[in-house]
A and B are shown apart, each in its own frame.
Chain A
Amino acid sequence: MRMAAAFAAVALLASVLASGVGYVLVRDAMLERTQDAVVAQVRQTVARLVPARVPTDAGRTLSDTLRNALSTTDGRQRAYVETLPLDRPVPPPPPGRLHVPVSAAFAARATRAMVVQRVRHRGRAYLLVGTFTSGYVTSATDPQRTTPPIVLVSVSLDRETADLRSFTRAMATADAAALLFGLALALVAARGVLRPVRRLGTGARALAAGELATRVEVRGRDELADLARTFNQAADALETTVSELRVMEAGARRFVADVSHELRTPLTSMTALTDVLEEDPDGTAARLMAAETRRLGVLVEHLIEISRFDAGAAALVLDDVVVAAAVAATLQARGWSGRVAVEVPDDLVARLDPRRFDVVVANLVGNAFRHGRPPVRLEVRRAEREDVPGFELVVADAGPGIPAEMLPVVFDRFVKADAARTRSEGSGLGLAIARENALLHGGTLEASAGTEGGAVFTLWLPLAGAR
């Protein structure tokens, strides 16, 4: 509404200003034309009719001739012509001769130069023209008898006033039309602007109420369309973030549940074993107890590790590593040196965190021994991915392989290949930690089924370390 009012005010101001300026210009031009015409006519008539040698005692005759020539029969123009008295001021014209009374100052100035004056009399406008003659010959001793007359002419400006009035009426009509047009335009424009704004407002409210799928329609190519597009992008980002948070929250809940479960299992065993331990003299229970305790220790270690990843606190300590030596060291440390068919290029050097690399390799090979069957192969070869130089480390076994439905979730936490086998030596976090380590290096870890059965894990790491 305010916008429409402003529009209308601007339209009104502009049209009134324009018409006002136009009015003044037209009026001045019109009046000037009338005045010029009258002045020219008076000047020509006087010059044409007054001879340089004015006949003696012909003042009356000359005056009559001039008055006839300067008056119109319709009364629009009237003339007062009188022989100029040389010994006293010009007498004012008797009432009725001209339209308006003439001031003494005007008559006096008319004897020296051609003068005009616009006067208003009883609400009407008139033009006065006064003149005398120059260049006439008179006698020095008896000048009064050969002096030409003074000429005063009054012209009614009724016609001009009427023209101006009709012009004003036309202008007022045009102004009113402009105002209406401006108002209509303003309403249309306001609707055009306000509707998208209202839509945006509705969208924002819906978003605030939690309807994250809310989007507004983008129409046109103006700033408002831009705004709508930005709104939609913000809503997209918000929706993505919120759903990610929800997924993460669900994952965290499940993790906590899983952790509780995993911790309970060895604790249950340990409680049972403690009972047995009281009566068992040969120490089997004690050994089992020790094993369970180690398992619990590993689990807690893994939990700490994975929680570091979750908190983003895991840091890489990069070093130049000869891959062949690192792999050999890992296998030797675990006592697997002779049991794995290793194929690694001797000259492959990569920049990576040796401790984390060791964890990943040990996990993959350990899994192959635990869940698969020998022979276990470990193969390293150079491989570029997306133009980044790197290397692949493939661990394959000859076991039953991973069921197809398990492939997408094999890296999730506490996922067991055999659901029935709830108790295994692994913590259920090993692959998850291996994968987090690979990602930390800027690499990948994938699981697939081998061509001749068995599981194949492929680790890819960039040569230059994480960027």
Chain B
Amino acid sequence: MRRRAVAALVAVLALASACGVPATGITEVGPLPRAEGPAVNNTVYFLKGGKLMPVVRPGLPGAPLMPLRQLGHGVTDNERRMGFTSTLPGVGIVTGLPDPSVHDVGPAGAQTQTTPEIGESDKVTVALETTIPPAQWPRVWQAQIACTAEAIPGVEKVELNIFDGRPGREVRCADYRDLLGTSVRN
């Protein structure tokens, strides 16, 4: 009788201890997912032999302003080997089109709220990480920004600014026609 009671008690305890959600070890649940997201082509203008040359790079859908930001990161090793260079400093702020990628950091879900003023959706504003007023930026910088921006579908006007309280400088790619070379793919 006593042995049976002990057995029953053990069973009940075992059941009770199995309650709740138990922890587990690390378990593999399959291979890594394959990257098969859609890719778009972006055009970025770099210098080659002193001339402005477009470079086609892969981009992300829904991130139209990415080429402008990529300008600030400079050329890749491949592009450098092909003779491309860039002297642009880092690109600080890019506004104008709805693009979540312009806000690198920040809490999740905050992007839509800080989507910039969309009043002039055909105009983008680019600020460089520099204190030099836009009017004094080297023409090559201005040309790179203006042509890269105008290569983005839907962009008509480009404003260069450093947000120092003064109005920015509107530029067009056509203003720098003298710097343009023939198109090359990287």
A residues near B, CB below 8 A?
A: 9, 12-13, 16-17, 20, 23-24, 27, 31, 35, 39, 42-44, 46-58, 60-62, 64-65, 67-68, 71, 73, 79, 105-106, 109, 112-120, 125, 131-136, 139, 141-142, 145-146, 148, 157, 160-161, 164, 168
Q: Determine whether the beta carbon of B28 is less than 8 Å from that of A113.
A: yes
Determine if B27 is an interface residue (Cβ-Cβ < 8 Å).
yes
* Neighbour of A50 across the interface among B26, B27, B35, CB < 8 A: B35
Inside 8 A of A146's CB, which chain B residues have their CB?
76
Inside 8 A of B104's CB, which chain A residues have their CB?
60-61, 64
Inside 8 A of A68's CB, which chain B residues have their CB?
100, 108-109, 111
Inside 8 A of B59's CB, which chain A residues have their CB?
55, 58
* Neighbour of B101 across the interface among A49, A60, A109, A120, CB < 8 A: A60
Q: Once the chains are docked, how many angstroms separate the CA of A52 from the CA of B37?
A: 7
Q: Once the chains are docked, how many angstroms separate the CA of A139 from the CA of B69?
A: 20
Cβ of B107 to closest chain A Cβ, rounded Å: 10
Q: Determine whether the beta carbon of B78 is less than 8 Å from that of A142.
A: yes
Q: Determine whether the beta carbon of B32 is less than 8 Å from that of A114.
A: yes
* Neighbour of A47 across the interface among B12, B36, B62, B73, CB < 8 A: B36
CB-CB contacts below 8 Å: B15-30 with A: 15, 18-30
Determine if B6 is an interface residue (Cβ-Cβ < 8 Å).
no
Q: Once the chains are docked, how many angstroms separate the CA of A79 from the CA of B19?
A: 28
Q: Once the chains are docked, how many angstroms separate the CA of A12 from the CA of B15?
A: 13
Inside 8 A of B11's CB, which chain A residues have their CB?
13, 16-17, 20
Closest 5 CB pairs of A and B: A61-B101, A125-B21, A135-B34, A51-B39, A57-B73
Inside 8 A of A46's CB, which chain B residues have their CB?
33, 35
* Neighbour of B58 across the interface among A39, A54, A64, A164, CB < 8 A: A54
Cβ of B99 to closest chain A Cβ, rounded Å: 9
Determine if B70 is an interface residue (Cβ-Cβ < 8 Å).
yes
Cβ of B30 to closest chain A Cβ, rounded Å: 5
Inside 8 A of A50's CB, which chain B residues have their CB?
33, 35-37
Determine if B66 is an interface residue (Cβ-Cβ < 8 Å).
yes
Q: Determine whether the beta carbon of B35 is less than 8 Å from that of A55.
A: no
* Neighbour of B73 across the interface among A125, A145, A164, CB < 8 A: A145
Contacts A23-B19, A114-B28, A164-B20; A142 near B77 (Cβ below 8 A): yes
Q: Determine whether the beta carbon of B69 is less than 8 Å from that of A57.
A: yes
Contacts A47-B37, A139-B77; A23 near B18 (Cβ below 8 A): yes
CB-CB contacts below 8 Å: B101-122 with A: 101, 103-105, 108-109, 111
Q: Determine whether the beta carbon of B21 is less than 8 Å from that of A157.
A: yes
Determine if B60 is an interface residue (Cβ-Cβ < 8 Å).
yes
Determine if B139 is an interface residue (Cβ-Cβ < 8 Å).
no
Q: Determine whether the beta carbon of A64 is less than 8 Å from that of B100.
A: yes
* Neighbour of B23 across the interface among A54, A119, A161, CB < 8 A: A119
Q: Determine whether the beta carbon of A73 is less than 8 Å from that of B101.
A: no
- The tally of CB-CB contacts under 8 A between chains A and B is 183
B residues near A, CB below 8 A?
A: 4, 8, 11-12, 15, 18-39, 42, 57-60, 62-63, 66, 69-70, 73, 76-78, 100-101, 103-105, 108-109, 111
Contacts A55-B58, A62-B60; A135 near B35 (Cβ below 8 A): yes
Q: Determine whether the beta carbon of A47 is less than 8 Å from that of B33.
A: yes
Q: Determine whether the beta carbon of B31 is less than 8 Å from that of A113.
A: yes
Q: Determine whether the beta carbon of A116 is less than 8 Å from that of B77.
A: no
Q: Determine whether the beta carbon of A67 is less than 8 Å from that of B24.
A: no
- Of all chain B residues, the one with the shortest Cβ separation from A123 is B20
Cβ of B44 to closest chain A Cβ, rounded Å: 9
Cβ of B117 to closest chain A Cβ, rounded Å: 21
* 14 A–B contacts from the bound complex (CB under 8 Å): A16-B11, A23-B18, A52-B35, A54-B35, A55-B66, A55-B70, A60-B101, A61-B104, A62-B60, A64-B111, A117-B26, A118-B24, A119-B23, A133-B34
Contacts A115-B29, A117-B25; A71 near B108 (Cβ below 8 A): yes
Q: Once the chains are docked, how many angstroms separate the CA of A17 from the CA of B8?
A: 10
Cβ of B144 to closest chain A Cβ, rounded Å: 15
Q: Once the chains are docked, how many angstroms separate the CA of A65 from the CA of B21?
A: 32
Q: Determine whether the beta carbon of B63 is less than 8 Å from that of A58.
A: yes
Q: Determine whether the beta carbon of B35 is less than 8 Å from that of A148.
A: yes
Q: Once the chains are docked, how many angstroms separate the CA of A396 from the CA of B32?
A: 126
Inside 8 A of B36's CB, which chain A residues have their CB?
47-48, 50-52, 135
Cβ of B89 to closest chain A Cβ, rounded Å: 14
Q: Determine whether the beta carbon of B109 is less than 8 Å from that of A115.
A: no
Inside 8 A of B8's CB, which chain A residues have their CB?
9, 12-13
Q: Once the chains are docked, how many angstroms separate the CA of A142 from the CA of B78?
A: 8
Q: Determine whether the beta carbon of A109 is less than 8 Å from that of B78.
A: no
Inside 8 A of A39's CB, which chain B residues have their CB?
29-30
Q: Determine whether the beta carbon of A51 is less than 8 Å from that of B60.
A: yes
Q: Once the chains are docked, how many angstroms separate the CA of A39 from the CA of B24?
A: 16
Q: Once the chains are docked, how many angstroms separate the CA of A118 from the CA of B20?
A: 12
Q: Once the chains are docked, how many angstroms separate the CA of A60 from the CA of B35?
A: 17
Q: Determine whether the beta carbon of A118 is less than 8 Å from that of B42.
A: no
* Neighbour of A16 across the interface among B15, B33, B58, B108, CB < 8 A: B15
Q: Determine whether the beta carbon of B66 is less than 8 Å from that of A61.
A: yes
Contacts A73-B109, A79-B108, A132-B32; A56 near B27 (Cβ below 8 A): no
Q: Once the chains are docked, how many angstroms separate the CA of A73 from the CA of B28?
A: 28
